[in-house]
Structure 1
Amino acid sequence: MIITVISFIFTEIGFRVYNSINSSFIFYDKSYGRFRGKPFSKHYDFTLNSQGYKDLEFETKKAAGIYRIIGIGDSFAFGVVPYEENYYTLVEEQLQAHHQSVELYNFGIPNLNPKDYLALLVNEGLNYNPDMIILSFFLGNDFLDSQDRNLSQPLYTYSYVASFVKFLWDLQKSYEGQFELPENMVYEDDMKVFTDENYLKMEMRRSKIFMKNNPGFGQTFDYAMQFIDRINEIAKRENIEFLVVIIPDEVQVNMELQNQVVAGLDMQPEEFDFALPNRLMAEKLSSLNINYLDLLEPFQTTSQTTRLYRPNDSHWNIAGNRLAATEIYKTILPKLSESRTKKQP
């Protein structure tokens, strides 16, 4: 027992020293940078920039005539697909085909929530003097993450050893096959990540926001939206265009998965409204005079003939990224032309 206690103490100290030198997402941290990529590390065949973002190097100074857009978001923005197929990359390419003096910086960091989006904008994004902010809001977990992050810190997170053990346990029971880091892999568009059982459990938990009788969702909704409202206030003060892109969860567009979730929760289809959060967000954003793009309808339509999400992953595959890029491009292009017209003497 004495040896075990001493070993635990030294391992705890070792983990804490390691994390202070080379921080890891395994250990608890309230900072939005907890899941930031390591500078110059590889994601598939792409090298992250010096700040750990999956994009080319950012330039603080903006050249004359440049229209700069910053794209904020979580793992959807960072992307599980290669860099060249990421929707922010594709949007930039499509815009540059019409306006060569446009650049889009991808500030995507996995596992962020609306509070983090605000912090990221204030701490980093505004330093680049953007003309437009795009905020990608994922319905699947942005509301729930806001709710969870507002709760007390789990007991196991106070110990780095316990956090490490839990990480290993979650890893081995959640993923399909052997888990490898993306930098050691060739991208496969149809590769499963989570097991069928664990992916269904995750979607069942997320689907609470689609239940018609969920009195607690109102408070969660208001808590998340206050940060978007704050971003909007900053954008107006700084004369920056602001666009919120509402990203649907796969359960909203995949009828087979939707039926599995309803059956798994032992509920009836009429007890759900899988477009409810979209309508609530549209009403709230409109009342705040915030521009938004809801991707639910085009994704529902296209999903009837084309798979848009990686299997058991919840993130877009290549086709999903391309569809999102096209819809965002069509929304931004008129605003970009309008903005340029206003700036002309």
Structure 2
Amino acid sequence: MQKLKLKAFSKILGQTALIALITFVMSEITLRIYNKINPSFVFYDSSYNRFRGKPNAPDYDFKLNSQGFKDVEFTVEKPAGTYRILGIGDSFAYGVVPYQYNYLTLLEENLNQSGQKTEVINMGIPGMGPRDYLSILVNEGLKLNPDKVMVFFYIGNDFLDNSLTANLRTEEKSYVIALIKSLIKIQSNYKGKVLNPTSVKYNDNQPTFNNQKYLQDTVNKSNMFVRNPADSIFKSFVEDAVQDLLKIKQICDSQKLPLTVVIIPDEVQVNSQLQQQVKQVFDPKNENLLDFELPNRMLTEQLQQANIDYLDLLPYFKASSQQTRLYKPNDTHWNIAGNRLAAELITQHLTSKNNQP
């Protein structure tokens, strides 16, 4: 009798396990199909909030909006007759300059002068990388019903950000587990940071770091410019970053949203004096060791293959840097002149024959 009961229990247990497995697999398939059609924040990490601005916090003489973005307040519902552009990027999009000089602020002003009522929403958060760009698009961008998405890719660290901050991200392979966790956590809350308090006055000519530290930081990230490196680790960084851009493209295509990637050069790529200093550290006897345009070629080749519209600012900034300083001293970010030039170039690109709103 005891053996019969044990056998019956084992049979029930096996059937229950089988049903649970089938349910799990079917749920996994259903959630993946649903997310393909209608992307949801549930399956995308929100760790980008770690560097987000504090809602309504001061930023020089400006005040961040209630979402912690360096922009004026905007409504989720798009105003009638408005062409809405999402600007997604890192500290370059957030900017070290005051709000009125930020290139996305100037871009919106430029586009509105063309007659089409345009709203450029600055969703820049310092410290973000390509995977974060994907996450913030799904978590917060799509619900704003944009007409266009722009991703601003900074050569200086966006290839490296995914690997450097991987331990801060939680990426579930299982959509079911991700859903369960999201139901428990709902979504990451954030208190935000005050990055530029009113007590700080912006000075366009004030160096942020001393010469030695800035040069060392530049040297540390210049391995990406080495021609024919012995290992291919940087190539893997490029592929990793491009995969996130491809996912963004897929989502934009599914929502019928045009996408443009703007490639932001690092200062060492446009500053010949800084280039010579970096070359001296790497190998003073080998002038051809570093190719400061190599990462851009690698990236644009991938973007072309994926049919992603892009604007590479490098040649324009390289030419203009001969006469005008475009970066804040020892800072890596654009100064007021750099932001102005970027806004002009992006405006030209968007209002060209193939990119008109």
> Structure 2 length as normaliser, TM-score?
0.77
Q: Taking structure 1 as reference, are residues 151 and 64 closer, same or farther at Cα in structure 2, changes over 3 Å only? A: closer
Closer, same or farther in 2 for the Cα pair 1:99/1:135, shift >3 Å?
same
Q: Aligned residue for 1:235? A: 252
Give the deviation of 1:262 after TM superposition.
1.2
The change in CA–CA distance for 1:96 and 1:336 in structure 2 (over 3 A counts) is farther
Q: Distance in 2 between matches of 1:138 and 1:65?
A: 32
Q: 1:32 to 1:295 in 2, by over 3 A?
A: same
Aligned equivalent of 1:69: 85
Kindly, what percent of the aligned residue pairs are identical? 49
Task: Report the CA distance shift for 1:79/1:291 in structure 2 as closer, same or farther (over 3 A).
Answer: same
The count of aligned residue pairs is: 285
Partner-residue secondary structure (3-state), 2:87: strand
Residue by residue over 1:68-101, the C-alpha shift from the partner in whole angstroms, topping out at 9 and shown as x without a partner, is 0010000000000010100000000000001342
Alignment partner, residue 204 of structure 2: 189
The two structures have a TM-score, normalised by structure 1, of 0.79
| Aligned-partner Cα distance in 1 for 2:271–2:139 | 37
**Cα deviations by residue, 1:147-195 (Å, 9 ceiling, x for unpaired):** 2223699xxxxxxxxxxxxxxxxxxxxxxxxxx9543122110111111
Which residue identity does 2:64 align to in structure 1?
L
Is 1:290 equivalent to 2:308 in the alignment? yes
- Segments of structure 2 that go 5 or more residues without pairing to the other structure are 1-44, 170-194
Distance 2:335 2:346 in 1: 17
Per-residue CA deviation, residues 223-254 of structure 1 (Å, 9 max, x unaligned), is 11100000000011101110000000000000
- Whether 1:225 aligns to 2:242 is yes
Aligned pairs for 1:116-265 within 5 A:
116-150=132-166, 181-214=196-229, 215-265=232-282
* Distance in 2 (alpha carbons) for counterparts of 1:187 and 1:51: 23
Counterpart in 2 of 1:88? Answer: 104
Q: Secondary structure at the match of 1:184?
A: coil
Q: Which amino acid aligns with 1:223?
A: D
1:310 partnered with 2:328: yes
Q: 1:199 to 1:337 in 2, by over 3 A?
A: closer
Change (3 A) 1:234 1:335: farther
Q: What letter is aligned with 1:123? A: N
> Counterparts of 1:258 and 1:111 in 2: how far apart (Å)?
25
CA distance in 1, matches of 2:270, 2:355: 32
State the alpha-carbon separation in 1 of the partners of residues 210 and 238 from structure 2.
Answer: 30
**Aligned-pair Cα RMSD in Å:** 1.8
Secondary structure at the aligned position of 1:334 is classed as coil
* AA matched with 2:260: L
Distance 1:39 1:230 in 2: 29
Instruction: List structure 1 runs of 4+ shifted beyond 2 angstroms.
Output: 149-153, 180-183, 265-269, 334-339
Matched residues in 2 for 1:252 and 1:142: separation? 15
Q: 1:269–1:147: structure 2 CA closer, same or farther, 3 Å change rule? A: farther
Asked if residue 44 in structure 1 is aligned to residue 60 in structure 2, the reply is: yes
1:337 positional shift: 6.8
Higher Cα Rg, which structure = 2
1:322 counterpart residue number: 340
Equivalent residue of 1:98, what SS?
Answer: coil
The residue number in structure 2 matching 1:110 is 126
